[in-house]
């Protein structure tokens, strides 16, 4: 069986108008290529156009393309947009950050995300460009109908408050974006209100489901923006009925003790909520004193879900202030592990029982599990009492048909826990990142 290169890394090799043709000859023969990194070269629109033509012809399997740190500008962005619409529909990750792309180029890239073009792009990084308000508005319109993109980085694009408002207005009808980075965009408390309004609208829309809203943003980065205490207060207001956000980054947002106290109140009032923040970062907020840190520690102690809070503590006896919070985070971590390991172990036990049954029934056409196996699985659930009566009923029904419909542990756990499984998966990823 024939094979070829899967990944090419041409970072900082000086690709320019004078030598790009050598690389095009290589790309014309890479039918297996999955990842191509051309970051930090001197590529301008002319060389970019020739390379994209080679990619279109010779790299049908390409999924990841990194063009960051070049000189694409408007013409280069339009070339990339045409590629996404025509031959690049299977691309899943695109990085064009740091390319001096102005609003016109941003509008072109945003238009390629329209649902009518069938793009499969999941990750888009357009950070450190010049999208400004027009580019941000175009992205908002595109995301309103896009059903593929999961991660967007639009940091340091000077989108300002108006651009942020237009962007999140489009996100109200988006059900797939999971992570957004809008750091370094000169956003104030006005943008915080726009984000808060989005949070409130999503929570209201999911209130009838009473669980983790898998269709809302899970990670939000608003760092390096002058939000101030008023902005933090607005964000906390929108998070009171949070149903989807679990990771929040507010580093260097000019917060002081009153803003941090709003976070404390949020942690306390949402302590019993089914969905709550798992990680929170408030680093590089130099106006926060030991009073604010102490208040944050108190909120962490009373909240039973938060697993990590990151702050800077440059004052004497900080360990005394933070020690009780650290103990609370450890307790929450252990509680999370204890709460969710039982369903996982239950699924593992069910799979073992199923495998044993299959070995005993080799050659048989019977697919339905016998009653004693179903009861054994259900008994594992009842023993620990981790599921509701409805979930137990669902689990019993699933056990009867698990050999056909749920071949993996993940599929079975997802079926039993429903929307809660997505929140569980976020907890597990957070725990594994420690």
Kindly state the average pLDDT of the residues 317-322.
69
Residues 289 and 313: their CA atoms lie apart, in Å, by 8
The highest-confidence range among 101-110, 338-347, 371-380, 421-430, by mean pLDDT, is 101-110
The pLDDT assigned to 1 comes to 37
Q: Indicate the DSSP class of residue 304.
A: S
Residues 161 and 82: their CA atoms lie apart, in Å, by 30
The pLDDT assigned to 16 comes to 79
Q: Which residues contact 82 (CB under 8 A, 6 or more apart)?
A: 112
The pLDDT assigned to 55 comes to 94
pTM summary value: 0.81
Residues 187 and 397: their CA atoms lie apart, in Å, by 51
Residues 67 and 97: their CA atoms lie apart, in Å, by 8
Long-range residue pairs from 414-418, CB within 8 A, at least 24 positions apart, any chain? 416/343, 416/347, 416/387, 416/391, 417/343, 417/387, 417/391, 418/211, 418/391, 418/394
Q: How confident is the model at residue 242 (pLDDT cuts 50, 70, 90)?
A: confident
Q: Give residue 58's Cα distance to chain centre.
A: 32
| Tens-place pLDDT, residues 353-363 | 555 545 454 44
Query: Which carries the bigger pLDDT value, residue 294 or residue 397?
Result: 294
| Tens-place pLDDT, residues 93-110 | 999 999 999 999 999 999
| Range scoring the smallest mean pLDDT among 36-40, 140-144, 382-386 | 382-386
Percent of the chain with pLDDT over 70: 72
**Is 306 buried (19+), middle (13-18) or exposed (0-12) by CB count in 10 A?**
buried
Average model confidence (pLDDT) for the chain?
Answer: 82
């Amino acid at each position: 069986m024939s094979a070829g290169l899967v990944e090419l890394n041409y970072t900082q090799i000086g690709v320019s108008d004078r030598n790009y043709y050598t690389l095009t000859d290589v790309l014309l023969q890479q039918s297996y290529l999955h990842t191509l990194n051309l970051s930090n070269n001197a590529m301008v629109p002319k060389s970019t156009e020739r390379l994209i033509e080679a990619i279109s012809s010779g790299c049908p399997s390409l999924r990841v393309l990194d063009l960051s740190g070049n000189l694409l500008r408007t013409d280069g962005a339009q070339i990339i947009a045409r590629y996404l619409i025509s031959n690049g529909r299977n691309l899943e990750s695109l990085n064009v950050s740091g390319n001096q792309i102005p609003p016109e180029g941003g509008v072109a890239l945003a238009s390629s995300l329209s649902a009518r073009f069938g793009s499969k792009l999941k990750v888009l990084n357009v950070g450190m460009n010049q999208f400004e308000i027009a580019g941000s508005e175009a992205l908002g319109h595109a995301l309103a109908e896009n059903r593929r993109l999961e991660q967007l980085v639009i940091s340091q694009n000077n989108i300002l408050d108006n651009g942020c408002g237009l962007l999140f207005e489009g996100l109200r009808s988006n059900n797939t974006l999971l992570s957004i980075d809008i750091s370094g965009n000169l956003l104030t408390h006005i943008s915080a209100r726009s984000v808060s309004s989005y949070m409130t609208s999503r929570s209201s829309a999911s209130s009838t489901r009473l669980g983790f809203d898998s269709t809302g943003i899970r990670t939000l980065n608003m760092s390096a923006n002058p939000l101030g205490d008023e902005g933090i207060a607005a964000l906390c207001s929108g998070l009171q009925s949070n149903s989807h956000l679990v990771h929040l980054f507010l580093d260097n947002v000019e917060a002081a003790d009153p803003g941090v106290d709003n976070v404390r109140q949020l942690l306390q009032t949402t302590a019993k909520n089914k969905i709550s923040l798992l990680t929170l970062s408030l680093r590089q907020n130099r106006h926060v004193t030991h009073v604010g840190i102490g208040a944050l520690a108190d909120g962490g102690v009373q909240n039973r879900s938060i697993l990590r809070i990151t702050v800077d503590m440059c004052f004497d006896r900080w360990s005394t202030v933070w020690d009780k919070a650290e103990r609370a985070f450890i307790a929450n971590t252990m509680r999370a592990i204890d709460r969710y390991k039982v369903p996982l172990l239950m699924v593992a036990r069910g799979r073992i029982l199923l495998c044993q049954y299959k070995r005993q029934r080799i050659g048989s056409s019977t697919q339905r599990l016998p009653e004693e196996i179903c009861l054994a699985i259900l008994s594992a659930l009842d023993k620990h009492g981790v599921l509701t009566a409805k979930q137990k009923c669902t689990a019993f029904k699933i056990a009867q048909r698990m050999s056909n419909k749920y071949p993996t542990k993940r599929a079975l756990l997802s079926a039993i826990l429903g929307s809660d499984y997505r929140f569980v998966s976020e907890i597990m990823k957070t725990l594994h990142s420690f």
